[in-house]
Amino acid sequence: MILIADSGSTKTDWMLLHAGKRQMFRTSGINPYFLNKEAIMATVCEDEGLKDIADQVEALYFYGAGCTEKFHIEQVDEALRAFFTQSKVEVKTDMVGAARAVLGKRKGIAAILGTGSNSCAYDGENLVESVPSLGYLLGDEGSGMYIGRLLIKSLLFRELPTEIRVAFDKHFGLTQADIITATLSKPMPNRFLASFCEFFVDYVDEPPVRVLVRQGFRDFMKVHVTAYDDYESLPLGFVGSIAFFFQEPLREVVSEFDIEDVKIIRSPIKALGEYHS
């Protein structure tokens, strides 16, 4: 049995490969920045199916947010080995998982565009170079937070069409003060801003919205993708809900940089199943 996990701070998708079949599980997110060994084991226990197969798994490939520093990788590794007692365990960052999902064993550039953003150069097996991901205050170009901020700012400045502003007010019922308070005083302002992107997907063909979405992606391309050597000649893969739902304007922007080999997927877990099988 082979078990694969793709984990963020919010949720973890698990896929079991056995006898040519696939079985899916889901638990809360496992991020070692926020969870200790005991909490990680408790999170895995959330799914009874995982508990039932714990001593039958032979290999576990875990790709997770926060699995970048040696201490955090060891923390996750120890927790998983204590739970899946008969399994060999490999813990990698979610960026490696994204690269393996969109590029397989090909050399190229991979990117994550979700609530936040990140990128890497990939040699067909592992990450070899990465532009620093500076978080939502200093970076996250092209992410849901970044694009959501551009759109909300334009909305509050009354730069978007009346139709969109009326629909926004009806859908969310938020005042300007509510929005400012949420971004300045409440936890997770990055998630708050990113959450508005789902609404704006329905208006992406409106010129003012499309201009801002493209601006966010163009900033990502300039900061991240062009930093890698020979980026024009390498395949480029995107993972994440923002890349997936805004893929038309994303492809338009990518074409401006003379890149033709582009792949966009929403979630890496199924592709990781192909990679490991």
* pLDDT for the residue 133: 78
**Which pLDDT tens digit goes with each residue over 236-252?**
999 998 999 999 999 99
Please give the pLDDT value at position 108: 95
**Sequence-separated (6 or more) residues with CB below 8 Å from residue 264:** 102, 237, 238, 243, 244, 247, 250, 251
pLDDT band at 28 (very low <50, low <70, confident <90, very high): confident
pLDDT at 137: 77
From the CB of residue 240, how many other CB atoms can be counted at a distance below 10 Å?
Answer: 24
Neighbours of 205 (CB within 10 A): 9
**Percentage of the residues of the chain whose pLDDT score is greater than 70:** 99
Q: pLDDT at residue 255 above 90?
A: yes
What local confidence, expressed as pLDDT, does residue 14 receive?
A: 94
pLDDT at 47 over 90: no
What is the per-residue DSSP string for 34-89?
T--HHHHHHHHTT-HHHHHHTTT--EEEEEETTTTSHHHHHHHHHHHHHHSTT-EE
Token pair in block for residue 12: 């973890």
Task: Give 56-85 pLDDT, tens digit per residue.
Answer: 999 999 999 888 889 999 999 999 999 999
Kindly report the pTM of this predicted structure: 0.82
Spatial separation of the C-alpha atoms in residues 70 and 243, rounded to whole Å: 30
Distance, CA of 165 to CA of 124 (rounded, Å):
46
Once rounded to an integer, what is the mean pLDDT over residues 10-30?
89
Burial category of 119 from C-beta neighbours within 10 Å (exposed 0-12, middle 13-18, buried 19 and up): buried
- The pLDDT assigned to 113 comes to 92
**pLDDT reported for residue 208:** 96
Residue 136: per-residue pLDDT: 67
Helix and strand element counts for the chain (H, E): 14, 10
Banded model confidence at residue 277, pLDDT cuts 50, 70, 90: confident
Per-residue pLDDT tens digits for 205-241: 999 999 999 999 999 999 999 999 889 999 999 999 8
Contact 16, 73 (CB under 8 A): no
107-163: pLDDT as tens digits: 999 999 988 888 999 998 888 888 887 766 787 899 998 999 999 999 999 999 999
Question: Would you say residue 187 has pLDDT above 80?
Answer: no
